[in-house]
Amino acid sequence: MHQIEFKDLVIFIRIAETGNFHDAAELTHLSQPALSRRMQKLEAILGVPLFERTTRKTWLTSVGREFLPKARRMVEEFELSVLGIKDMASQQKGKVTIACIPTAAFYFLPSVINVFNERYPGIRIQILDESANHGLESVIRGDADFGINMAIAQHPEVTFTPLLDDPFVVCLRRDHPLCDLQEVSWEDIAPYKLISVGRASGNRILLDKSLARDQVNLNSFYEVQHLSTSLGLVEMGLGISIVPKLAMPLSTASVLTSRPLKGQQIDRSIGLVKRSSTSLSPAADLFINILLERWSVS
């Protein structure tokens, strides 16, 4: 049985990244016919085509798209094993890809990235700021090394490690009448137009469950797709919104403020999502170690 060679994986990745055989041949210092022969050999070993080609364009097949993150991990793990653990801090040139819900990206990542960059300046970081469902899919497919997501985004193929409980709050303009209250009840909210995110949102699902449990009907007048849009509409004075506390602006100069919900607390658990069936790349492992040092729930 033929074995896949390291060089063939590198060639496959370069073709996928450049979108054509000519540029990939230059990057790998091969003639185009030699590169084509190597790709044909790799496809023969795998038993499936990895690319579709025309005279002008090359693109990945569905199998090729699925194989690409696996090939990147294999190449990275091989390179790191050659460098040796002792030299990782000074010589490593890998990449960590994180699928993170946008509200958590601002909160969790900056302090961790600062420490990580100081220790491992050669490792690049890519952040996929995605919804809970899309972020979970990115981790399962291997497009991301790991994710920071809500506990609601569960799947048999991933594990979840809690990092923080994020309470929902009422988002208001500072000149709104409800700002006179220390806490806001469902009854207080009822007369006002509510700005909600779409029903497919993980945040909306959590909120709707709480409203159904308490048999509460609110005046959900506007519906948007993103929390950032709901904050913008509140800022314009069009209504109020119930959002995770992490979504609130950090600046004290903002016209927006928040009040806690009265009588009960609706929380979303934010945590680390990893594939349970495959090992992490060494670079991702290093990042997660720093993340857990900083944010792990005691």
Rounded CA separation 211/283 (Å)? 42
Residue found by looking up tokens 């004075």 in the block: 237
Which domains, from first to last, does the chain contain?
Answer: 6-90 (1.10.10.10), 94-163+270-295 (3.40.190.10), 166-268 (3.40.190.10)
Q: Which residues, at least 6 apart from 97, have a Cβ–Cβ distance to it below 8 Å?
A: 125, 126, 127, 128, 143, 144, 145, 284
DSSP code of 283?
Answer: H
pLDDT digit string, tens, across residues 159-210? 999 988 899 999 999 999 999 999 999 889 989 999 998 877 778 888 888 8
Q: What is the pTM of this model?
A: 0.64
Query: DSSP labels for 21-49?
Result: HHHHHHHTT--HHHHHHHHHHHHHHHTS-
Residue 25: count of CB within 10 angstroms of its CB = 20
In angstroms, the CA 181 to CA 282 distance is 50
Strands (E), 190-293: 194-197, 220-224, 240-244, 256-260, 267-275
- Give the dihedral of Cα atoms 113, 270, 247, 229; nearest 10 deg: 100
Give the mean pLDDT of the chain: 85
What is the spatial distance between Cα 112 and Cα 108, in angstroms, rounded to a whole number? 7
237-265, pLDDT tens digit by residue? 999 999 999 888 877 788 999 999 987 77
pLDDT band at 91 (very low <50, low <70, confident <90, very high): very low
Distance CA 145, CA 155 (A): 16
74 φ, ψ to 5°? Answer: -65, -40
The string over 212-249, giving b where at least 16 C-beta atoms fall within 10 Å of a residue's C-beta and e elsewhere, is: eeeeeebebebebeebeebbebbeeeebbbbbbbbbbe
Taking only the tens place, the pLDDT of each residue in 33-76 is: 999 999 999 999 988 999 988 877 888 998 898 899 888 888 87
